A and B are shown apart, each in its own frame.
Chain A
Amino acid sequence: MSAAPVRRIARIVARPTLWLPLLSLLVFLAVWEAVGRSVDPLLFAPPSRMAGELPELLSSGELAAATGVTLQALVVGYLLAAVSGVLLGIAIGQWDTLGRLLGPYLFGLFSTPRVVLVPLVILWFGIGYGGRLFLVFLWSMIAIATTTADGIRNARPDLVEVARSYGAGRAQTILHVLLPGSIPFVLSGLRIGAERAVVGVVIGEMFLEITGLGGLLQDSAQSLETARMLWAVVVIAVIGTVLITGLDALERRLSSWKAEPT
C-alpha cells in the first residue's frame, strides 16, 4: 500500500492552503488601510478605525444582538428550506407531471429579484419576522428543490433496477438509491440555497424590517458611520463563509466513499 507516502505528500501540498490565504489577508488589510486613510472618513473606513470602533460595538451588545437576530431568521429559514426543498425535489424528480406543473412558477420566482417582491411580502406577511423568514426561505428552498430534482432524475437506472429486482418499494428505492445517488446535486443545491438565504436575510433586514445586521448596516450607512457599517458587512461575510465551509466539510464527509484512490 502506498497510502503513507501519498498522505505525506498531501500534507505538504495542503500547507499552502493555510499560509497562502493568511498572506493574502495581510496584503489585503494593508491595501485597505492605505486606501482607507487616503479617502474621506465619511465614505470609507480603514481597518484601524474599525478596530477602534469595535470595543463600543461589543460592550454595548449592539453587534451581538444584531447578529443574533440575523442568525435566528437565517438558521430557521435555511433549515426549513433544506428539509422542504429536498422533499419537494424528490417529489418533482419522481413525478414529471408535478415538475411540469410547478416548474414555471419555481423558475419564474427564482429569477425575480427579491427586492421587487418586498412590497408584496409586506402585504402578505406584514413587517416582521414572518416576512423576513419568507425572504430567507422561499428562494433558498427553490434552489435546493430544483437541484435535488435534477439529481433524482439523473439517478442511475441500472441501480434503480437492482433495487426493484430485490423487491424494494418506492420509499426504499428513494432512501437507498435515489437520494444517496443525488448527494452531489443536493449539496450543490444546499450551497446555492445558502447563498440565497444569506442574501434573503439581509434584504429582509434592510428593506422590510430594519433590524439585525442588515438593519445595522442600513442605519450606520444613513448616519455615515462607515466603520460600524463595515463591521456589519464583515460579520455577514463571516456568516456566509462559515456556512459554505460547513457545507464543504459535509460534502467531503458524504462523498468519502469515492475520495480514496483505488
Chain B
Amino acid sequence: MRDPEPAAPKIRVDGVAKFFEKGGGGDAGQVRALDGVDLDIAPGEFLTVIGPSGCGKTTLLRIIASLTDPDAGRVLVDGKAVDSPSPERAMVFQSFGLFPWKTVLDNVRFPLRVRKAPLSEATETAMEFLGKVGLADFAHSHPHQLSGGMQQRVGLARALATDPDILLMDEPFGAIDAQTRELMQEELMRLWQGSGKTVVFVTHDLDEAVLLADRVLLLSRSPGTVRALIPVDLPRPRWDYDVRALPGFTDIRARLWSMLRDDLVFAESHGPGPATAGAR
C-alpha cells in the first residue's frame, strides 16, 4: 500500500455521509447512501472505486466533485474544504456529457471559454488535447457523428484541457463496447502515467478496477462504507504486457470478487437494496 502518511493527501474524504429521501412511500424515511466514509487519496494516485450497485460509489464521486453536498463530513483538496465544483476537479461522465449542438472543438474549448481564456489560446489548447486523444481530424465534427469511444475521448480531452490536478471519472467506459474499452483503458493509462494527476475512477468492472489502479476502494452495499482498500502493486506501464495473465492480477481480482460476491448475493436475494432509488 502506498503510504499516504508522509505526503499530505491530495484529497481527504472526512466522515462523509449522504442520505436520500425515500421516494414514493408515505413514510418520510431516509435512506443512507453513504455512511462515515473516511479516505485519503495521495497526490498522483490512481484510485478505482468498486462496489455493488446502489452502494453510493457515484454519490461519493459527485461529493468529491461538489456536485452533491454531503449531509455530514467534508471533502478537503490540498487541505482545504471544497464546496463548489471546479475545473481543477474535472469530471468525465458515463454518458459523455457532450453538448450535441457544439462541434468537437467547441466542446473541448468549453471549460477554457468558461474560464474566459482568449479564443485563440483556447483553440490552441483544445487542438493540442484533441491531438493527444487522436481526434484532431474530427475537430469540426459533431458528437453524434462519432462512435461512443470517440465521444468519450472528446470527454477526456475536455476534462484534460484545463490541466486539472484531479480527474473524476464516473464509469467513463461503461457505455462503450468491450474491445474499444480496452483501447480506452490503455489510452487513459498513457495519458495519466507521469502526469502527476490524481484520478478517482468509479467502475463496476472488476478487471478494469484492478487493471488501472494503484489502489482499489471497495465499498460495502448500502449504506456505502469503506469495506477494503486493496493496493495493486503490478509493474507499470501496464500496456507493455498482458496484465490480466499475471498471478498478482488474478490474486487481487479473486480477493475482491470474494468480498464483492457476498454483497451481490445479498442484493440478489433481497432486492436491489433501499438506496438504489437515490443512488445517482
Contacts and interface: CB of A to CB of B under 8 A. Distances in A.
Q: Do A and B come from one complex?
A: yes
Interface of A: 158-159, 161-168, 172, 176-177, 180-181, 183, 257-258, 260, 262
A161 B61 CA distance: 14
B144 A159 contact: no
Which secondary structure characterizes the binding site on chain A?
A: helix
Contacts of A166: 85, 87, 90-91, 110-111, 114, 162
From B97, B103, B113, B115, name the one whose CB has the most chain A CB atoms within 10 angstroms. Answer: B97
A182 to B, nearest CB: 10
Interface in B158-203: 162
Q: What 4 A-B pairs are tightest by C-beta distance, nearest first?
A: A162-B97, A166-B111, A165-B91, A257-B142
Contacts of B93: 158, 162
B123 interface: no
9 contacts: A164-B85, A165-B65, A166-B91, A167-B84, A167-B86, A176-B113, A180-B101, A257-B100, A257-B101
Contacts, number: 62
Interface in B95-147: 95, 97, 99-103, 110-111, 113-115, 142, 144-145
A180 B100 CA distance: 9
Interface residues of B, number: 25
Interface string B26-44: 0000000000000000000
A167 B110 contact: no
A200 B267 CA distance: 64
B228 interface: no
Which secondary structure characterizes the binding site on chain B?
A: loop
B144 A258 contact: yes
Interface of B: 65, 67, 84-87, 90-91, 93, 95, 97, 99-103, 110-111, 113-115, 142, 144-145, 162
Contacts of B101: 180-181, 183, 257-258
A176 B144 contact: no
Nearest to B116: A172
Contacts of B115: 167
Given A257-B100, A262-B144, A165 B85 contact: yes
A159 B99 CA distance: 7
A188 B145 CA distance: 26
A172 B95 contact: no
Nearest to A181: B101
A164 B67 contact: yes
A178 to B, nearest CB: 11
B114 A168 contact: yes
Given A165-B67, A166-B91, A257-B102, 17 more contacts: A158-B97, A161-B97, A162-B91, A163-B110, A164-B67, A164-B85, A165-B65, A165-B90, A166-B90, A167-B115, A176-B114, A177-B99, A180-B101, A183-B101, A257-B100, A257-B142, A258-B100
